[in-house]
Amino acid sequence: MSEDIPEVPSWVPRDSYPFEHRYLDLAGARVHYVDEGVGPPLLLLHGNPTWSFLYRELITHLRGQFRCIAVDYPGFGLSRPGPEYGFTPAEHAAVVERFVTELDLSGVTLMVQDWGGPIGFAVATRQPDRFSAFVIGNTWAWPKSDPGTQVFSRTLGGPIGRYLILRRNFFVERLIPLGVRRRTLSTPVMDAYRGPFPTPESRHPMHVFPREILGSRPFLAEIERGLPTLGDRPALLVWPTKDVAFRDAERRRWERTFPNHRTVILEGAGHYIQEDAPEQIIAAIREWVARRADED
């Protein structure tokens, strides 16, 4: 752990995110994470354009049962990239893998959503002995090229998206509110999502992700090939009904990948399920863990 701890920015809400800030220096990046609670590790991975703040409710309510670990990818949240870092999912996965091995995590339950899926499952397929179970939100971990995916990737990953994301902060100002269907996010919460991206230059990491939906097909194909090695692990699916990005087809594929699964439908929830349905997800995880303990 680095001894040089930066000052916590004012946009981090201390009332809803009151956790100790920890840092590791990995491959030239200063990686921020929280590590709260006792029990088996629960590794929480975010997507675009969020950060570990997304998991604040889960950490608060599950840290009596799990060692809750939530990491920010370089360029997101409170993590800072090293020189020449390109913000691709493959680079993020390499950082997370280094993170997992540096902390020597084992018996990990991995929770993923959005880009957390490819990033997390890239690590799990490379380090399968460290992972014991999965909580899978709306995500994927294989190449996608359906028409909707192609339009989204080419538009937001291209010049139009570059303008919208860098100049208008489109992902934060528009897509986060549109992706939360059950509630309206407060100003402090929105400020916590705005905080890491105050300038056009700082928003570049957000622009890389949509481009890489198509650009990272070889990386995604490698993960796809490795998924069968994890198929014997238990999995909990927490799946929203109002996400336009990931629908029933992706959910059914995850269910086939993990025969020992339980699926909880988050009725009316949008893309950002941790904001839309935290209480339901927490209850689902607790019930799932209790059932597995009874079966053992």
Both structure tokens of 135: 């909580």
The residue count for the chain: 296
Residue 271 a catalytic site member: yes
Q: Which DSSP letter does residue 84 get?
A: T
Pick from 214, 251, 283, 275: which is nearest to 57 by CA? Answer: 275
Please give the distance of CA 108 from its chain centroid, rounded to a whole number. Answer: 15
What region does 61 belong to: left with phi over 0, alpha with psi -120 to 50, or beta? Answer: alpha
Residue 72 a catalytic site member: no
Pick from 186, 162, 167: which is nearest to 176 by CA? Answer: 186
Residue 129 a catalytic site member: no
Give rounded-to-5 percent helix, strand, coil for the chain: 45, 20, 35
10 Å CB burial of residue 34 (0-12, 13-18, 19+) is buried
**Is the Cα torsion angle 172, 173, 177, 179 positive or negative in sign?**
negative
State the catalytic residue, choosing from 32, 72, 92, 114: 114
User: Cα–Cα distance between 272 and 256 in angstroms, integer?
Assistant: 24
**Is the Cα torsion angle 110, 291, 58, 179 positive or negative in sign?**
positive
State the catalytic residue, choosing from 72, 207, 271, 276: 271
Alpha carbon dihedral 64, 65, 67, 71, in 10-degree steps, equals -90
User: Cα–Cα distance between 289 and 139 in angstroms, integer?
Assistant: 22
Q: Which DSSP letter does residue 289 get?
A: H
Q: Strand order in 108-114's β-sheet?
A: 22-26, 29-36, 67-71, 41-45, 108-114, 131-139, 235-240, 261-266
Catalytically annotated residues: 114, 243, 271
